[in-house]
Structure 1
Amino acid sequence: MINWGIIGCGDVTERKSGPAFNKVNGSKLLAVARRDAEKAADYARRHGVERWSGDAYALLEMKDIDAIYVATPPSSHLEYVCAALEKGFSVYVEKPVALNTAEALKMAEAAQASAGKLVVAHYRRRLPLFLKVKELLEQKVIGEIRTVQMRLWQSIKPALVTTGAANWRTNPAISGGGYFHDLAPHQLDLMLYFFGEPVHYDGFSQCQAGDDGVADQTSGTILFADKIVFNGSWCFNVADTDTIDECEIIGSAGSIRFAVFGQRIVVKDGNGEQVFEFEHPEHVQQPMIASVVGFFNGQEENPCTIEEAVELMKIMDKFARLTV
């Protein structure tokens, strides 16, 4: 049995992740911590959690806890991940893993020096929709991959962001940047998951519609092995009528199209068009958490390593360079 403690029982843990820790076999949520002790107590009461605290470090001293889920905003990931690893806990940390590459590298060093294990919460890797995309690519259903075109265009207040939690996401000191830092890790990690380590990448960001120093437009290109070219465009300043979430993988014999925040895949080849529909789990991180528990128990490989997350942060940092 893996007994869990959560540091940062905020919005993301209400449904996406928190309840899953008690629904995965061999897993139990034993304690939660949050700076606002009243909110920590309220969360514990509503979710049937035995223990709670207003102090993360007090949670790290509790008996019988085996693993820590760090679900705070990115600015405190490094502090809590390193503190937990130093005490020998295994850790599951939210994305983006850190504010920048330098912090991610420090986490990697801490993991190497610890008896604990470290997994990054790029949970879309374990959702059936994206496992199907990976299967289609490996089966070469659309032939040899030529290019990948991705667009995520949203309004100034994206509907994809958790309700009531937008303020810190546009504070670089807390999030690392703007909405790009919150949403793009899902998309870019899938590209690494599908196509492997990049050969080259470059990009830029700009503040197009505002003057608050937070980029609202980002563009980036990645060259993968086998000469696969990825082009990504992120805009957070378009009209509601022009929002789009689309990834299209073009091959020599057809295409695969899907929305990273959607529930369907459209495959086109010489035989026409085929549509695959999916319904995500009630707790969208549950499949990933099941794999994390398996990894912590020595039954599975690490579903997302800190080294993979470091590579992702290097790409994010390159794309996030402000030009104007």
Structure 2
Amino acid sequence: MLPASLPEPVLFRPGQGEPVLRWGILGTGWIAGEFAHAVQAHTAQKVAAVGSRSDERARQFAGQHGIDRAHGTEDALIEDPGVDVVYVASPPGEHLAQGLRAIAAGKHVLMEKPLATSAADARTLVAAARAAGVFLMEAMWSRYQPQALVIGELLRDGVLGDIRTVHADLGQAVAPDPHGRLFRPDLGGGALLDMGIYPIQLDSMVRGTPRSFVTSGGLTSTGVDAHAILLADHGTGEPSVLTTSLQTRTPAAALIAGSEARIEIATPFHVPGGFRLAPNDYLAETITWTDPTGITFFGGLSWEATALARYVGEGRQESPLHTHDETVSILATIDEARRQIGAR
């Protein structure tokens, strides 16, 4: 039987006592621009500086987003004394080196997903951050959105019963480009690290680390994974079915199915939206939850920025919603999936 009402979780709303941190954005690409806009529109945080390998790009980005300081080198941004936290928005292949430099400079770090291109590199970053006493978090923005917090409460309350399976997919039809980031092994290309991480992290959030899994997939001409399907065995119920692709635009749907009820997350499942909670009786009434905040699509990047500030204010060094151990575990799953299909 469904609950009479859905839980009201504590959202990462701004102005709830979190410190106002001074942010430096490392990188001037598309996601950096979306992040800057989201932070400025929906948080109490301050975007203080931007850094790039090109002085011209840095100044142009700063002008577009009303940012006070533009640095023409990465090190200048990292070493800026007016920056408390560095948001690394560069390609994944650069995350390890840039993250280690920011940590060594005493900065907190929000690393665009994936944290690194392998579990081993992620462990290196985690160890460095712990030794330096700074906060490190992967920018898995889906975890901090209102819908994820409500779903988390429902799972903890046992509303679905025993979890039987998770089905999730995320794929885009990307034009092949051997020079593009998604197709270059040295930059951390491939479907799994870019899009497949979303279905895998959802399964991890719901069911934990899989006991074992098998992967079917294919490669691009450059050797990165073009598509992959994981059947993840958690030892109970059915395997989870997790799908990603650079070749096909998929529905971006997600289902969490239990012995008593199921949650169908609105598409695309990894952005702010809503979900439907339905009992397993086909004819029974369902409950629909829609995000009430008015923050849509990439405005949802703001939730992770406020969450980071709150956690820093609490004296934490990692996110309790997406811990270092879980972040490394998810990358270990991706490592093995890539190995199984022979990806570079």
TM-score, normalised on structure 1? 0.86
Q: 1:287 to 1:18 in 2, by over 3 A?
A: same
Note the C-alpha offset of 1:20. 3.6
Cα deviation digits, residues 207-229 of structure 1 (max 9, x gap): 26x53322222122334476574
Paired residues of 1:215 and 1:322 also in contact (CA < 8 A): no
- The yes-or-no answer on 1:204 pairing with 2:210 is no
Paired residues of 1:195 and 1:225 also in contact (CA < 8 A): no
Partner of 2:15: none
Opposite residue 288 of structure 1, the aligned amino acid is: E
Distance of 1:38 and 1:213 partners within structure 2? 34
Paired residues of 2:42 and 2:299 also in contact (CA < 8 A): no
Paired residues of 1:5 and 1:29 also in contact (CA < 8 A): yes
Match of 2:201 among 179, 189, 192: 189
- The yes-or-no answer on 1:268 pairing with 2:284 is no
Match of 1:289 among 280, 302, 305: 305
- The yes-or-no answer on 1:250 pairing with 2:257 is yes
Distance of 1:75 and 1:199 partners within structure 2? 26
Does the residue aligned with 2:110 lie in a helix, a strand or coil?
strand
Partner of 1:173: 186
Note the C-alpha offset of 1:147. 1.4
> Could you list the runs of 5+ residues in structure 1 that have no partner in the other structure?
159-163
Note the C-alpha offset of 1:118. 0.8
Count residues in correspondence.
311
Partner of 2:21: 2
Paired residues of 1:24 and 1:289 also in contact (CA < 8 A): no
Paired residues of 2:262 and 2:278 also in contact (CA < 8 A): yes
Moved over 4 A (4+): 23-26, 225-228
Paired residues of 2:49 and 2:70 also in contact (CA < 8 A): yes
Cα deviation digits, residues 63-121 of structure 1 (max 9, x gap): 22211111111111111111111121111111011111121111111112112111111
- The yes-or-no answer on 1:142 pairing with 2:160 is yes
Distance of 1:120 and 1:268 partners within structure 2? 32
Opposite residue 174 of structure 1, the aligned amino acid is: L
Q: Say which is worse superposed, 128-137 or 224-233, in terms of deviation.
A: 224-233
Paired residues of 2:276 and 2:287 also in contact (CA < 8 A): yes
Note the C-alpha offset of 1:272. 2.7
TM-score, normalised on structure 2? 0.81
Opposite residue 203 of structure 1, the aligned amino acid is: V
Paired residues of 2:119 and 2:331 also in contact (CA < 8 A): yes
Opposite residue 259 of structure 2, the aligned amino acid is: S
Match of 1:214 among 212, 224, 233: 224
Opposite residue 65 of structure 2, the aligned amino acid is: H
Does the residue aligned with 1:207 lie in a helix, a strand or coil?
strand
Distance of 1:250 and 1:323 partners within structure 2? 28
- The yes-or-no answer on 1:237 pairing with 2:250 is no
Distance of 2:123 and 2:170 partners within structure 1? 28
Paired residues of 2:199 and 2:243 also in contact (CA < 8 A): no
Does the residue aligned with 1:285 lie in a helix, a strand or coil?
helix
Distance of 1:134 and 1:168 partners within structure 2? 33
Paired residues of 1:96 and 1:181 also in contact (CA < 8 A): yes
Opposite residue 298 of structure 1, the aligned amino acid is: E
Q: Which residues in structure 2 correspond to 1:51-70 (within 5 Å)?
A: 51-70=69-88
Note the C-alpha offset of 1:304. 3.0
Note the C-alpha offset of 1:25. 5.5
Note the C-alpha offset of 1:19. 2.7
Q: Say which is worse superposed, 3-12 or 274-283, in terms of deviation.
A: 274-283
Distance of 1:187 and 1:304 partners within structure 2? 15
Opposite residue 57 of structure 1, the aligned amino acid is: D
Opposite residue 263 of structure 2, the aligned amino acid is: I
> Could you list the runs of 5+ residues in structure 2 that have no partner in the other structure?
1-19
Q: Say which is worse superposed, 244-253 or 147-156, in terms of deviation.
A: 147-156
Note the C-alpha offset of 1:153. 4.5
